[in-house]
Every structure is written in C-alpha cells, then in structure tokens.
Amino acid sequence: MAPKTLKGFQDLLKRRTLEMTTLYEVSKILASSISQKFKINTALKVFSNFLGLKRVSIMEYDSEKKELRIVYAHGFTREEVKNGIFPVDKGILGSVINNNVPEIVLENPTKIWLPMKIQNRLYGVFYIEREFTDELTINEELKFLNVANSIFLQAIHLAKEAEETKNKLLRENEALREQLEKGTGIHGIIGISKQMQEVISTIKRVAPTDATVLIRGESGTGKELVANAIHSLSHRADKPFIKVNCPAIPDTLIEAELFGHEKGAFTGATKMRIGRFELANGGTIFLDEIGDLSLNLQSKLLRFLQESAFERVGSSKTIKVDVRVIAATNRNLEKMMEEGTFRNDLYYRLNIVPIFLPPLRERKEDIPLLVEHFLEKFNRIHNKSVKLTEQALKVLIEYPWPGNVRELENCIHRIVVLSNSNLVDSKDIPLPVIYPELKEEKQLNSVENSEKSMKINEVERELILKALKDANGKLKEAAKILGLSLRQLTYRLKKYKIVKSYKIV
C-alpha cells in the first residue's frame, strides 16, 4: 500500500534503502570463505542490528524425530541455543512445518516464523522477533523477510552441497586409497596377487625395525623398489639411501668404493675418498646382487654386519657408522654355499628377514594393473593417450615375461612411443611378446648346451668386445651401443669372462 503523506513516502524510501543495504551486507558475508557456522551467525547479527530486531534464528528440521533445533542464532543466550529443540507435532511450529506457510503473532514483540524450503525439501524455519510498526503493513514486511529468508537458505544449501561433495570426495578418496593399498600397495609396488600382498605385508612389518633384509628374486622383479619402500617407511627415511650395484664395480675397486680409501692407498688414489657405507651413515645401504661379491669382500662385509665398523683402504683407523643393510640377489645362495663361493656366516647374517619376489609369470593377475600403471606413466611422459584392446592385453597376460616387470615396462614404453593410434591391437604388440621363441633369453636357456647356443654366445661375445673397443672401455657407452642396461652388460662381462678393467662412465 502506497503512503498517503510525504513523510510516509520518505519513511518508506528510508526503509527500502535500509533493507537493500542490509541484504547487500548480509550477502557479502555469506559469500565469504570463512567457516559456515561463523559466517551465518555473523550474517544474522548484521541482519538483526541493521533492522533493529530483538532476536533471530534459523532452526533445522529433523523429519525422523519431528522436531526443530536451533543451529544459527543472534540474540539468544548460549543456554537457549543449547536447549533450543522444539517438537512440531502441534501448535504454531506444527502449522509452519505441516502447512508450509508463515505464522505471525502480533504482540510485543511481534514473532514471525517462515518455512525454509528449497528444491521441494523442507530445511527448517526462519524465526524473527521484532517491534512491529504501523508504517508498514505485515504483507510488506513479509515480502522483505521472504527475500532475506531465500538468501540465507541459498547460502545454507550451497554450504550443504559443498559439504556433501567434500564428504563424497573423501569417501571416494578413501575407497581409492583402499583399492590402491590392495593394488599398488606401497611406494609403487603393484600387485593384488596373494604373493605380492604377502610381500607388502612383510615390508610394512620390517620397515620400522633396523633388521637386515635379504631380497630374493629374478632380475626385473623389483628388488630395488622393495628396498626403497623399506627405507621410505623406516625411521631413517630422512637419511641417505645409498644404492650399490655390486656387479657394476670392478673387483679391484669395489672395496674402496664401499669403505673408502686414503690418499696414496693405491695407484690413482690422489686424494682421500669417503666410501658408500660412510655416506650412508644414519640411513640405509642397498647392496644389489650381493652374490657377485668376492670372498674377500664377503668377509669384510660380514665384519661390518657384526661390528658396524670398517677401515678405509690404506688406513688402520676404525670407523663406526650406523647403517641399515638391505641386500638383494637373483642367485641361488644356498647352492653357492655348497660350492664354497658364498660364505655361510654371511648368508645367516644377511638372511634375518628374507623377502621373496615372485616372477611375473607366477602372478599373471597383476599384469593388467601393471599395464595400466605403465600406460598412464608413459602416456603422461610422451603426451599421448594410448590404450590396449582386450586382445592385446590378453597377449601380454599370456606371455611368460622372462625379464619380469622390467621387460613389461620396456614393452609398454615401446608401444606408447611407436604407436600411431590411440588404440593398440595384438598385432601391434612388439614381436618378442607375440613370438616368445624369438626372445634371446629363451633361446639361450632352452638350447644352452646346443651348438646353436654356442654360436650365439660367440657372436654376442664378439659384439661386446667390439662395443667396448668403440666406446674406449667406457661401460655405460658400450651398453648404450649394445642396447643393454649397465647391469645386463656387466652380467655378460662376467659370463664371457671379459675381465679387463673398464670405466663406468
């Protein structure tokens, strides 16, 4: 109803300006990034103070208990808020909830209850106490309060949606974490097979201790990954993790490499050098392919395991360090002990906690997970989106993988790099996978004593010698020429008894 006097018009304009200012300030607060409870209570305080209200609250409806509970309020005591639970089976509150209409009691102060409903769902009730004036009709008052009610309700609804989304993401994250715990385990160790779950369980139990660990398994099964996981989960995680590939270091240099040397200890020792054990002080040393150590080095390592002490080459000063030892091998140490090439006492010192890594052919159920992991990794690296057909995956699952996880990783890398399309079928899988008989390792194993094997060995030995000559004796460069890893090359140097000293560069 329009005012009949100038003063009435001025009062109405003043009132409308105040209402617009109030809604603007309330909206600013509700749009802020502070916590939901604090910002809604603050907005109610501003709303109440600007309009001169006595009390204001927002009550949430519990449909199961059939009651309203004060969740946000201004002008109420803490005790009133704490005890602000009201049944809605009858009376004014029952009418508001059941009939979805406002209720007003025209007394001093005037009390107003507005239903809060969004998307056909009842949230609760907006309650206002105020001094009612004759300058505005109750209908005019309700129009404004309904706008305010909508603003508060929208803020609560958005906050609830955000909370529900957050909780959903947390649940999904937890489910994914559990799935990853089963599938990828820890620190990238992938496997849902019973064997790999046992490995993961052992890692978790042994990691917090300082026990020496001996990791057994064929080449390419992930022994270094297990050693890294043990270190990362231990109390030494922030200390050094020193890796030593025993076959890659010539016998003449490995003692100095492990324990260090003094200046002038031998030809070429132009300055004092700290060894790997000293560098690992406080942390972990990982001795890969421990079975390749000479008997002399085995005795020195045994002494370290017994006393945590050693001397640098060329020095009589004993150095004590705190280092956890993790060793790994793909060799049959028990057979080596029978042959006298591996010390029994060292074996028992190393074998405190054995961890056996199964070959990939014995855990085929893990291959799809590994394939997915490597595809994601190399797609990201090469900015591609390569996927495999079911038939291609079946080929990979059926292949025996003599090179284990390392061979599978290299195969997937090759597929991603060479693929001209985003979908790779079985015919596009590298030939050694489709035709295992072409795989060199299988040839050498299956016809080891045949004339064909001898010829292959002779050819391979000649190729290695030529590569070493072309690389001027530099092992890494020779390995690159041959398309081998450094470990594969050093293994072949021992196999073919190529015993000259070469540089690992």
How many Å apart are CA 334 and CA 339, to the nearest integer? Answer: 9
* Cα dihedral 312, 313, 314, 316 in deg (nearest 10): 40
Q: 60 near 123, Cβ under 8 Å?
A: yes
Q: 105 near 83, Cβ under 8 Å?
A: no
Span 447-495 CATH architecture:
Orthogonal Bundle (1.10)
How many Å apart are CA 330 and CA 18, to the nearest integer? Answer: 82
First to last CA, the chain: 94
Prediction pTM value: 0.54
Q: How far is CA 431 from the centre of its chain?
A: 34
How would DSSP label each residue in 18-86? HHHHHHHHHHHHHTSSS-HHHHHHHHHHHHHHHHT-SEEEEEEEETTTTEEEEEEEES--HHHHHT-EE
- State which fold the 194-358 domain adopts: Rossmann fold (3.40.50)
Extract the tokens encoding 121.
């769902």
* Domain ranges, ordered by start, for the chain: 6-164, 194-358, 361-437, 447-495
Alpha helices in 313-389 (DSSP H): 333-339, 344-350, 367-382
Burial of 197 (0-12, 13-18, 19+ CB in 10 A): middle
Instruction: Look up the CATH number of domain 361-437.
Output: 1.10.8.60
Q: Is 297 helix (H, G, I), strand (E, B) or coil?
A: helix
How many Å apart are CA 49 and CA 25, to the nearest integer? Answer: 11
pLDDT in tens, the chain (505 residues): 555 677 667 777 888 888 899 999 999 998 887 788 888 999 999 999 998 888 999 999 988 888 899 999 999 998 888 888 888 877 888 889 888 889 888 877 889 999 998 777 889 999 999 876 554 567 778 888 899 999 998 888 888 887 787 777 677 656 545 554 554 557 778 888 999 999 999 999 999 999 999 999 999 999 999 999 999 999 999 999 999 999 888 877 889 999 999 988 888 788 999 999 999 999 999 999 999 999 999 999 999 999 999 999 999 999 999 999 999 999 999 999 999 999 999 999 999 999 999 999 999 999 999 999 999 999 999 999 999 999 999 999 999 999 999 999 999 999 999 888 899 998 888 767 665 544 444 444 444 444 445 555 676 788 788 888 888 888 888 887 777 778 778 888 888 888 665 555 5
Instruction: Look up the CATH number of domain 6-164.
Output: 3.30.450.40
Q: Count how many residues are written for the chain.
A: 505
